[in-house]
Amino acid sequence: MNPEDFRKHAHELVEWMADYMENIESYPVKSQVTPGEIFSKIPDKPPLKPESFDSLMKDMDNIIMPGMSHWQSPNFFAYFPANVSPPSILAEILISGIGAQCMIWETSPAAAELEEKMMIWLRDLILLPPEFEGVIQDSASTATLTAILTAREKATTFSVNENGVSQAGKLRVYCSEQTHSSTEKAVKISGIGRKNLVKIPVKSDFSMDAAKLKQAIDRDLKDGYIPVCVIATLGTTGTTAVDPLRAIGEICSKSGIHLHVDAAMAGTALILPEFQWMLDGREYIDSFVFNPHKWMFTNFDCSAYFVKDATSLIKTFEILPEYLKTRTRGKVNDYRDWGVPMGRRFRALKLWSVIRSYGVEGLREKVNEHIRIASSLSEMILAEDDFEILAPVVLSVVCFRYKPSGYTEDRINQINEKLNHTLNDSGKIYLTHTVLNGKYTLRMVTAQTNVTMAHVEKAWSLIRETARSAIHL
């Protein structure tokens, strides 16, 4: 493709993307294809001769689009959002156009320095203490792995990096029963082992029971284990429960245990003064992650990872082969030493574009509106005798189920599972589920960039009507 053709197709693609945004509600939210359907439509062999970009776009529309679920639809209420916004998309275009590999300061000084400044902006926006330093990671999962590896090295005086895990003693990590599965993955990868991840029971609001954490740690210390890290969650994935940071932090600080905070979704709500209570106990935090790629309108991927002591982080990850030696080393941030991958995209540009374009007030307004919508939805659910709310509504997630009278618990679980599939198969809305105390729970997340009260009211009528007919099917 020559530059002339690139210009032509790029202009066409902007039209394509703008049309997509305008028409997004006309697509089924959840893709309706069956397994293998798309695979079978793609040729088994690559073309020998060059093909036109027009032919690619034809297949994009005809083959690929039916196999896409539409995360940017305001009728998407599933999982947690992966929100984009026009200023973020524009920055992504610039990033891919420039195509810089931002592994160290020298490979693009602007990328490193903008990243440093954006992390200061975010840190101050969510009111983490000023000694924290930040780095962009690809995902909260990677950030939590990074935290656990750093904690492992701190607890073993940086000996596992040298000698391997076999002589490290019996290392332990603690989280709650509601913690995201990325912690379990990180513990597997880190050599600590899944059996040494202690899952602390939760209270009736699904937040970690700090007294039980203390008991578990005391017992382990007596039995010769080495507590390495506690993961506290602000905004669990199931119900957005908030673990009691201060109580957990006091326990950690007494035994010198690394405290990592996973605020992947809820971290964005810390830009609202009304939600700063979640961060009470912040002085005990060693590391903290939240995802602008979830609720801060920044295209995936962009996870903001903050550490109180960057020296330990760097000491865990740094490596200095001859080909990466530079004259600026030690004077600048070489972010390849702040995590797992060496290569890095210029992700700070997206944040810069989003924050400047919305302004802090614009971001606050949007997040506040999403939380307000969730609270109105929970009132509408509470007003119906045959529905019930199954977890406190803290932020933008409402957990509920249909509960017609006269059925056993097993049957009610089946009815709700069927209700979930029927709703998703309609293509009109997309919801996912969790299980709380053995109950199949519908989860409705009202945090898509463009969701409004009108979308949620329409969704709620559909849910009610479908539920009341689904039990007869």
Ligand X SMILES: *Cc1c(COP(=O)(O)O)cnc(C)c1O
List contacts with ligand X (CB under 6 A). Answer: 80, 139-141, 180, 182, 233, 237, 262, 264-265, 291, 303
Nearer to ligand X, 143 or 363 (CB): 143
Q: CB of residue 271 vs ligand X: minimum separation in angstroms?
A: 17
What tokens were used for 142? 């990677």
Q: At 80, is the secondary structure helix, strand, or coil?
A: coil
Q: CB of residue 183 vs ligand X: minimum separation in angstroms?
A: 8
Q: CB of residue 261 vs ligand X: minimum separation in angstroms?
A: 10
Q: CB of residue 397 vs ligand X: minimum separation in angstroms?
A: 10
Nearer to ligand X, 265 or 373 (CB): 265
Give 208's DSSP letter. B
> What does each C-alpha distance from 469 to 43, 424, 463, 473 come to in angstroms?
43, 15, 10, 7
Q: CB of residue 448 vs ligand X: minimum separation in angstroms?
A: 15
Q: CB of residue 430 vs ligand X: minimum separation in angstroms?
A: 16
What tokens were used for 116? 């440093």
Residues 6+ apart with CB under 8 A from 304: 119, 122, 134, 136, 137, 267, 289, 290, 291, 292
> What does each C-alpha distance from 84 to 57, 91, 154, 292, 302 come to in angstroms?
22, 11, 37, 10, 11
Nearer to ligand X, 138 or 334 (CB): 138
Cα separation, 302 vs 308, whole angstroms: 20
Give the angle 92-98-100 at the CA atoms, nearest 5°: 100
Give 168's DSSP letter. S
Nearer to ligand X, 233 or 448 (CB): 233
Nearer to ligand X, 168 or 394 (CB): 394
Nearer to ligand X, 83 or 466 (CB): 83
Q: CB of residue 173 vs ligand X: minimum separation in angstroms?
A: 15
Nearer to ligand X, 142 or 156 (CB): 142
Question: Which of these, 171, 224, 223, lies nearest to 198 by C-alpha position?
Answer: 171
Q: CB of residue 46 vs ligand X: minimum separation in angstroms?
A: 31
What tokens were used for 259? 């405290």
Nearer to ligand X, 156 or 176 (CB): 176
Pairing of strands 432-436, 397-402: unpaired
Which long-range contacts does 20-24 make (Cβ < 8 Å, 24+ apart)? 21/72, 21/86, 24/70, 24/72, 24/73, 24/74
